[in-house]
Amino acid sequence: MEKPWSGRFSEETDRFVEEFTESVSFDKALAIEDIDQSVAHVRTLEKAGLISPEEAGRIVKALEDIKKEVQEGRFRWRRELEDVHMNIEAELIRRLGETGKKVHTGRSRNDQVVTDERLFLKRETGEVVSLLKDIRRTLVKLAEGTVDTILPSYTHLQKAQPIRLAHYFLAFREAFLKDTERFLDCYRRIDEIPLGSGAVAGSDFPLDRFFTAEILGFSKVSRNSIQATSDRDFILEFLFACAVTGMHLSRLSEDLILWSSEEFGFVELPDRLCTGSSIMPQKKNPDLLELIRGKVGRLYGNLISLLTVLKGLPTAYNRDLQEDKEPLFDSLKTLKACLVGMRKILEGLKIRSEKMRSSAGNLTLATDLANYLVRKGVPFREAHKVVGKIVSYLVEKGKRMEELTFEELRSFSEHFSEDVLELLDPESSADRKVTYGGTSKKEVERMIEVAKREEGL
């Protein structure tokens, strides 16, 4: 097959170079976008008087036929044609002859490929946002059913203070909401058409780029042809959003893995989403959660990979930019699968409320005692010291805080009155956290209603 640049060369391209440089094995994922932008480009060429209405009609009809074959899996991809663009253009020329050769007038693969990528990411961003919404809505529903479930919170993986389980689920709902905002914000910078920028300097022909943008549904037109063809910041930003979302999925996975262990026993994972051991009959392994946690490493790696590719490139297009696609495609596939997997886990999660409640008291109530003394006029640092001594006493005696008598408490500070015993309860501890965004029942219920309105539930 004759290369489109063959006029410049006296030798045929080495087979190794063809195999090493080909990208059609992965960039064929952009085929629909490539055809759609070619249709828009043809209409722009027609508007500029560079091709006749009849020619434009024939080209568009052939492109639509090729698109149907691609969608049905009947299109024959040829590696020797290098990439998705040349495969489609070669087929167009095969069908239309000289007329097909006019489709590349006024454009370069440099502005063509980045237009494809932006079209692709506009669609994929919508899919990711939809999957994130599914996760958020699932978390809100879980929160609705767990307002009265008390468990210990953890800092440094040590028990901290009693909270409501609903408050925990809403915390991750907030994280995934911010992830959604990140993708939508990224979308604003994706939504800019580079087509018409040519290879680097723009086009010689009077192409109405705003007309092309309107056809393809772009809200903005790039303002500098150099930047338009060499920019991959929008992919970096998208990969970063994928990595941050993955990090949140990984942290949630880690919690659920710990909570489903015999040592915690806070939750039970659905049998259908776990696996067993090939040697130990008793095992129920949280493999889905572990793989979500593990696959996040790929999301990080893809971001770093592209950052590394870009860091030393001279200005404008370089073939190194071909390396942007595989990290992007892999991150999308990985993230979407992880979001689906986490939603399935959350939907099938069994909560062991009694086990959570039984773990929520004892030393997690220490801060409540310190705050009690503060309300009695004791400086906080002094109150902290007094309660620290009480904790040491409990550890030494092997007693729980709820078992303390008034006399024992009084021996540590004269500021304790008998009403202090009312504090030694995890539910009342949670309900004293009345600040905006706190874990009191009233505040949690209010935030659930806010979340339901925002999620359309």
The 10s digit of each residue's pLDDT in 409-419 is: 999 999 999 99
Sign of the Cα pseudo-torsion (80, 85, 88, 94, in order): negative
Which amino acid type is present at position 408? Answer: E
Token reading at 356:
């959570």
Longest Cα–Cα distance in the chain: 100
- Mean pLDDT, all residues of the chain: 95
Q: Report pLDDT for 21.
A: 74
Quick one: DSSP state of residue 117? H
d(CA 456, CA 418): 47
State the helix-helix crossing angle for 366-375 and 380-397, rounded to 10 degrees. 140
Which domains does the chain possess? 6-105 (1.10.275.10), 110-358 (1.20.200.10), 362-455 (1.10.40.30)
In this structure, the dihedral spanned by the alpha carbons of residues 178, 182, 185 and 190, taken in order and rounded to 10 degrees, is -160
Q: Which of 140, 170, 137 is nearest to 439 (CA)?
A: 170
d(CA 351, CA 186): 36
Token reading at 375:
């309300």
State the helix-helix crossing angle for 109-144 and 441-455, rounded to 10 degrees. 140
Question: Tokens 């080209």 appear where?
Answer: 59
Active site residues: 156, 277
Q: Report pLDDT for 16.
A: 73
- The answer to whether residues 103 and 42 touch, using CB atoms and an 8 Å cutoff, is yes
pLDDT along the chain (457 residues), means of 10: 58 72 91 98 98 98 98 95 94 96 96 98 98 98 98 96 98 98 98 97 97 98 97 98 98 98 96 92 93 97 98 93 96 98 98 96 94 94 95 94 94 93 93 96 98 97
Q: Which of 308, 269, 309 is nearest to 292 (CA)?
A: 269
pLDDT tens-digit profile of 218-272?
A: 999 999 999 999 999 999 999 999 999 999 999 999 999 999 999 999 999 999 9
Token reading at 381:
């640092």
Q: Report pLDDT for 187.
A: 98
pLDDT tens-digit profile of 148-194?
A: 999 999 999 999 999 999 999 999 999 999 999 999 999 999 999 99
d(CA 63, CA 267): 54
- The answer to whether residues 111 and 195 touch, using CB atoms and an 8 Å cutoff, is yes
State the helix-helix crossing angle for 109-144 and 325-347, rounded to 10 degrees. 10
Quick one: DSSP state of residue 352? -
H/E segment holding residue 161: strand 158-164
d(CA 369, CA 375): 10
Tell me the whole-structure pTM to 2 decimals. 0.93
Q: Report pLDDT for 39.
A: 98
Q: Report pLDDT for 8.
A: 62
Q: Report pLDDT for 17.
A: 75
Q: Report pLDDT for 5.
A: 53
d(CA 134, CA 154): 27
Chain Cα centroid distance, residue 221: 27
CA 381 → CA 303, 370, 388, 409, distances in Å? 45, 9, 11, 18
CB atoms within 10 A of CB 308: 10
Q: Report pLDDT for 31.
A: 97
Which amino acid type is present at position 31? Answer: A
Token reading at 284:
């129920």
Q: Which of 108, 121, 120 is nearest to 41 (CA)?
A: 108
Q: Which of 280, 277, 281, 258 is nearest to 269 (CA)?
A: 258
d(CA 252, CA 246): 10
Alpha helices in 222-286 (DSSP H): 225-230, 233-259
* Rama region for 106: left / alpha / beta (φ>0; ψ in -120 to 50; rest): left
